[in-house]
Amino acid sequence: MELPNTIPLSTLRQTINWITRPYDFLDDCAKSYGDIFTVKLVGFSPLVFLSNPQAIKEIFATDAKQFDAGRSNEILRYLLGSNSVILLDGDRHKRERKLLMPPFHGEKVKSYGDIICQITREVGDRWQPQQPFLASKAMQDISLEVILQAVFGLREGERYQQIKPLLSSLLDMTGSPLRSSFFFFTWLQQDLGSWSPWGKVVRQRQEIYDLLQAEIEHRRNQSAATGNDVLSLMLLARDEDGQPMTDPELKDELMSMLVAGHETSASVLAWALYWIHKLPEVKAKLLKELDSLENNDDPMAIANLPYLTAVASESLRIYPIVPIVFPRIAKQEVKINGQYFPPETTLVPSIYSLHHREDLYPEPKKFKPERFLERQFSASEFIPFGGGNRRCLGYALALLEIKLVLATVLTNYSLKLANNQPVKPRRRGLTIATSNGVPLSVVS
Q: Which sequence spans correspond to the domains of the chain?
A: 11-442
Asked whether 81 and 248 are in contact (CB, 8 A), the reply is yes
C-alpha–C-alpha distance, residues 258 and 27, integer Å: 31
C-alpha–C-alpha distance, residues 374 and 133, integer Å: 35
| pLDDT at site 37 | 98
C-alpha–C-alpha distance, residues 79 and 336, integer Å: 32
| pLDDT at site 399 | 95
Q: Among candidates 433, 336, 316, 305, which has minimal Cα distance to 385?
A: 316
DSSP-derived letter for residue 104 is G
Contacts for 313 with CB less than 8 Å, ≥ 6 apart: 369, 372, 382, 384
How do residues 91-102 score in pLDDT, each as one tens digit? Answer: 999 999 998 888
Write the DSSP assignment of 232-252 as a string of letters.
HHHHH---TTSPPPPHHHHHH
State the Rg of the chain over Cα.
22
Q: Among candidates 318, 309, 305, 321, which has minimal Cα distance to 278?
A: 318
Q: Among candidates 349, 285, 347, which has minimal Cα distance to 311?
A: 285
| pLDDT at site 186 | 65
Q: Among candidates 353, 350, 351, 329, which has minimal Cα distance to 341?
A: 329
Contacts for 202 with CB less than 8 Å, ≥ 6 apart: 191
Q: How many CB atoms lie within 10 A of CB 135?
A: 27
Contacts for 322 with CB less than 8 Å, ≥ 6 apart: 264, 351, 430, 431, 432
Alpha helices per DSSP H over 37-177: 53-61, 77-80, 90-100, 107-110, 113-124, 135-146, 158-172
Contacts for 66 with CB less than 8 Å, ≥ 6 apart: 330, 331, 332, 334
Q: How many helices (H) and strands (E) does the chain have?
A: 19, 12
The β-bridge partners of 129 are 442
Strands of the 415-417 sheet, one edge to the other:
133-134, 439-442, 415-417
Element (H, E) at 329: strand 328-330
Residue type (1 letter), 217: E
C-alpha–C-alpha distance, residues 274 and 417, integer Å: 7
Write the DSSP assignment of 193-206 as a string of letters.
-TTSHHHHHHHHHH
Low-confidence stretches of the chain (pLDDT < 50) are: none
Element (H, E) at 439: strand 439-442
Reported CATH class of domain 11-442: mainly alpha
Q: Among candidates 50, 43, 53, which has minimal Cα distance to 3?
A: 50
Asked whether 372 and 341 are in contact (CB, 8 A), the reply is no
The β-bridge partners of 6 are 38
